[in-house]
Chain A
Amino acid sequence: MGELLTPLVRYYEISALWVRASTTYRASFWMLTIGGFVLTGVDFVGIWILFHTVVSLGGFSLREVAFLYGGTGLAIALADMFVGRIERLGSMIRLGKLDTMMVRPVPLLIQVCADEFALRRIARVLQALVVFGWASAYVEWSPAKIAMATSMVVSGSVIFFALFIAFACLQFWTADSAEVANAFTYGGNTLTSYPLTVFPGEVVKALTFVLPLAFVNWYPSLYILGRDDPFGFPAWTQVLSPVVAVLMAGVAALVWRTGVRHYRSTGS
């Protein structure tokens, strides 16, 4: 357990210092945080407005859509807050920052993710939490459903953690691949913000077997919302999220290690 905890402690220590450094500019911190909250909030208003003209979206009510939206929103917001900095890997390589991190005794991944940790990214987490909380108020909760919701948020975040890391590793080989990563992470988040019934079956298959983002919110939410799978997948797919998360984390770790061992550094 200690093996696992130490890096997290290091992450906390490094990020705490960044938080302390950034909150010295209090006004700017609050403006950015509130701005971020409002900006992401507008996102959900779009769906809300949609429901003024339709009663259901792909057979799901506004509250159910909000639950799905909040589920994936929370997962990606947490991933973005804790590992989002990895998007900057390419510029860290170019500026030689990665070299300096490599000669320090803290796991490289921890240093990259904790670098310039910005607490204001919490705005997005709060926004997702508000939507999720509102939708949750209409769920008939049971101990099993609470356990499932917890597992959903944790597994969903880990799946997005893994995606962020694996795609950022492309930058070990090509410096300007940050946009490719965004297409999959934020793009995937947009897709899973809607009930998958609005998409063709191929999309659902792709999100289950290829890029398993359906496990972030869709399958566990079906259980929590008491829905049968509209695509006829067996009920046990709804409990698979933790397994998928562990697999994805494994793949990401492998890609990361390969990337680091193939790292070429810069010219000087």
Chain B
Amino acid sequence: MSLIDARGLSRTFTVYKRSGRLTRTRTEVHAVHDLDLAIEAGEMVGYIGPNGAGKSTTIKMLTGILVPTAGHLRVAGVDPSRKRRSLAHRIGVVFGQRTTLWWDLPLRDSFELLQKIYRVPPDRFRTNLAEFVELLDLGDLLDTPVRQLSLGQRMRGDITASLLHDPEILYLDEPTIGLDVVSKGRLREFLRALNAERGTTLLLTTHDLQDIEALCRRVVVIDHGTKVFDGPLSELHRQGGSTRTLVVDLVDEAPPIAVEGATTRRVEGPRQWLAFPADASAAPLVAAITATYNVADLSIQEPDIEDVIRELYTAG
């Protein structure tokens, strides 16, 4: 059996809306609807979708926080909402937008409290802590209260906190949200190593396609509570017909650039926007353009996750 095994998983919320002075109407919102998901041990899966698609609701069901309305769900062989506490030993959860650490306690105390909560053997705790502090560069921050940490520092603290008890599965809900490019890169590097060296299964929700590109061979896309794609990233780009954009700043204004493998979408003075397939390399394109035009500057815009999903719909 798969490590995570969901079949027909659904969660409905009943919402009451005021419709008059005293009356209210009852509506059912299907946050997650009839979701099938099987994830094997050791996989790194990107779970993506627009806001309100049902990503967090899924994670909350997988961790046992929310009770599913319908469907079959087993994580590490148990029903999460009924065996929440025993499952807790085997999973780690990082909520990107909020901390699981204690606001007023120094990082060190938070970690120590977690050691007690998870009953981590002292020597195991020391080795793990030393390793994560080293890898995530937390050494100077251990005595700082969490409220004084920057977002990136706090995220590193949160990730350490979620891993001290050697979980088999790590759920990351928007782990790179609000981080700068350097922090994002380091975090991805760390997660990749974690998966490779410890075999930790990773399920991450994100808005950032680069997270997926850097980490996940497999992508699951959810929209309006339903799974709309499950497969490798390259396949998603192909199916969604997603494009990257090459922004070209010419020295002088020019008519739209005509070059093979790309279409000019927009021209604004000397600046032009060229769309090309996301799975194609930008190098030949850049070479072709610089051979014929006087180029002042170039930059590449990655496809936006919302665009990919929108195009996935219009294409399908």
Mark A75-100 against chain B: 1 for CB-CB distance below 8 A, else 0.
00000000000000000000110011
Q: A14-B113, A21-B105, A105-B85 are in contact. Are A100 and B67 (CB under 8 A)?
A: no
B: interface residue count bin: 20 to 34
Query: Would B65 and A105 count as touching, CB distance under 8 A?
Result: no
- Residues on B with C-beta less than 8 A from A99 are 60, 65, 95
Per the bound structure, the CA–CA distance linking A149 and B56 in Å amounts to 51
A: interface residue count bin: 20 to 34
Per the bound structure, the CA–CA distance linking A99 and B63 in Å amounts to 10
- B21 within 8 Å of A (CB atoms): no
Closest chain B CB from A88 CB (angstroms): 13
- B311 within 8 Å of A (CB atoms): no
Query: Would B65 and A103 count as touching, CB distance under 8 A?
Result: yes
Per the bound structure, the CA–CA distance linking A96 and B99 in Å amounts to 9
Per the bound structure, the CA–CA distance linking A78 and B105 in Å amounts to 25
Query: Would A10 and B91 count as touching, CB distance under 8 A?
Result: no
- Residues on A with C-beta less than 8 A from B72 are none
Query: Would B117 and A268 count as touching, CB distance under 8 A?
Result: no
Q: Which of B62-110 contact A (CB under 8 A)?
A: 63-67, 81, 84-86, 88-89, 91, 93, 95, 97-98, 100, 104-105, 109
Query: Would B116 and A105 count as touching, CB distance under 8 A?
Result: no
Closest chain A CB from B265 CB (angstroms): 33
- B13 within 8 Å of A (CB atoms): yes
- B190 within 8 Å of A (CB atoms): no
Stretch at the interface among A138-146, A207-215, A228-236, A258-266: A258-266
Closest chain A CB from B80 CB (angstroms): 10
- Residues on A with C-beta less than 8 A from B67 are 261-263
Per the bound structure, the CA–CA distance linking A21 and B113 in Å amounts to 11
Per the bound structure, the CA–CA distance linking A99 and B59 in Å amounts to 11
Q: A17-B109, A95-B98, A264-B13 are in contact. Are A104 and B118 (CB under 8 A)?
A: yes
Q: Which of B13, B64, B81, B100 has the most CB of A within 10 A?
A: B100
Per the bound structure, the CA–CA distance linking A265 and B11 in Å amounts to 12
Per the bound structure, the CA–CA distance linking A17 and B108 in Å amounts to 12
Closest Cβ neighbor of A261 among chain B residues = B67
Q: A13-B116, A14-B117 are in contact. Are A105 and B88 (CB under 8 A)?
A: yes
Query: Would A96 and B109 count as touching, CB distance under 8 A?
Result: no
- B36 within 8 Å of A (CB atoms): no
- B166 within 8 Å of A (CB atoms): no
Closest chain A CB from B49 CB (angstroms): 13
Closest chain A CB from B145 CB (angstroms): 9
Query: Would A102 and B113 count as touching, CB distance under 8 A?
Result: no
Q: A14-B116, A107-B85, A264-B13 are in contact. Are A100 and B66 (CB under 8 A)?
A: no
* Of A20, A102, A262, the contact of B65 (CB 8 Å cutoff): A102
- B112 within 8 Å of A (CB atoms): yes
Query: Would A17 and B13 count as touching, CB distance under 8 A?
Result: no
Mark A243-268 against chain B: 1 for CB-CB distance below 8 A, else 0.
00000000000000000011111011
Closest Cβ neighbor of B106 among chain A residues = A21
Per the bound structure, the CA–CA distance linking A263 and B97 in Å amounts to 20
Per the bound structure, the CA–CA distance linking A261 and B112 in Å amounts to 30
Per the bound structure, the CA–CA distance linking A268 and B95 in Å amounts to 9
Query: Would A103 and B63 count as touching, CB distance under 8 A?
Result: yes
Mark B169-211 against chain A: 1 for CB-CB distance below 8 A, else 0.
0000000000000000000000000000000000000000000
User: Chain B: residues with CB nearer than 8 A to chain A?
Assistant: 13, 56, 60, 63-67, 81, 84-86, 88-89, 91, 93, 95, 97-98, 100, 104-105, 109, 112-113, 116-119
17 A–B contacts from the bound complex (CB under 8 Å): A10-B117, A14-B117, A21-B105, A96-B97, A96-B98, A99-B60, A100-B95, A100-B100, A103-B65, A103-B91, A104-B88, A105-B85, A107-B85, A263-B65, A263-B67, A264-B66, A265-B60
Given contacts A102-B65, A102-B84, A264-B66, 16 further A-B contacts (CB under 8 A): A10-B116, A13-B117, A95-B98, A96-B97, A99-B60, A99-B95, A103-B84, A103-B93, A105-B89, A105-B118, A106-B117, A116-B104, A262-B67, A263-B66, A265-B65, A267-B56
